[in-house]
Amino acid sequence: MKRVMVKPLKVLGTYTQVLPNNWKLYMDNVKDTYHASLLHLFFTRFRINRLTQKGGVFVSADGAHHCTYTEIVEDRGDAYEAGGMRSAGGAHDFRLEAPELLEQVDELGDNVSIQILSLFPGFVLHQIRNSLAARQVVPKGIDRTELNWTLFGFADDDEAMLRRRLLQANLVGPAGYISMEDGAATGFVQRGVAAAADRASVIEMGGATIGSGDSRVTETAVRGLWKAWRSYMQV
């Protein structure tokens, strides 16, 4: 939080994304360091976030909170391409005619391309390039969640930075090149699990414990969420 909140903020605007799923599925998505470069073509194709880029994940001792980051340092590797991953660009060799949408100024001076932070149970802070936002996760029913987005900049942003933030607003929110997919995916999971209420599936990616580390090929933060939730719910 201190890394991003370095000076007075200026709110740029707000909106609400209504998700057709339980709130825990959204937090599970936020904390899953693994899905981002598989689901979000924009992350992988434009090398904003690949698991082969330097980064890490921090998880609080009780598992409830997490923070993950990826460094700007360009990864020239082609692991995703060699693996034939859809998110690497796919058959269409997807590219942008106006790539300036993604240009980042390293305004916090520490070479971080993306930081996602969550506080249990329902708060998220993101920095994706120069897009900064707080997300408030509000449960509205077993299968309905409202996500209140507040995008902000700094009070001393110049015109170029304001323009950059407004262009990069296209990455997030209900129409976000990245975030629209989270709305879709969590809804798919909600409907998928409804068909098998009495069954369970367990994948222990990165082990069974929770903890911090330099690899994001792990579900440590996801396990932390469920562990914290079970402890509060006494189940």
Partner 1 sequence: MDIELRMRVEELHARYAHALDSDELERWPDFFTAKGRYRVTTAENEARGLPLPVLYAEGEAMLRDRIASLRHANIYEPQRYRHMVSAVLLEQQSASRVKSIANFLVIRIMENGEVVLFASGRYLDRIALPELRYEERVVICDSRRFDTLLAIPL
Q: Return residues touching partner 1 (CB under 8 A).
A: 11-20, 39, 41-42, 45, 90, 92, 94, 96-98, 101, 146, 151, 162, 166-167, 169-170, 173-175, 177, 179-181, 183-185, 187-188
Residue 45's Cβ-count burial label (10 Å; 0-12, 13-18, 19+) is buried
Closer to partner 1 at the Cβ: 43 or 120?
Answer: 43
Closer to partner 1 at the Cβ: 75 or 146?
Answer: 146
Decide if 18 contacts 183 (C-beta within 8 A): no
Residue 27 CB, shortest distance to partner 1, in Å, is: 17
Distance set, CA 89 to CA 105, 132, 156, 182 (Å) = 24, 26, 37, 18
Closer to partner 1 at the Cβ: 11 or 142?
Answer: 11
Closer to partner 1 at the Cβ: 6 or 11?
Answer: 11
Closer to partner 1 at the Cβ: 12 or 226?
Answer: 12
Distance set, CA 174 to CA 19, 32, 44, 170 (Å) = 10, 19, 20, 9
Residue 46 CB, shortest distance to partner 1, in Å, is: 10
Helix (H) or strand (E) segment spanning residue 232: helix 220-233
Residue 176 CB, shortest distance to partner 1, in Å, is: 8
Give me the half-sphere count of Cα atoms (radius 13 Å) on the Cβ side of residue 172. 30
Cis peptide before 121 (omega within 30 of 0): yes
Residue 167 CB, shortest distance to partner 1, in Å, is: 7
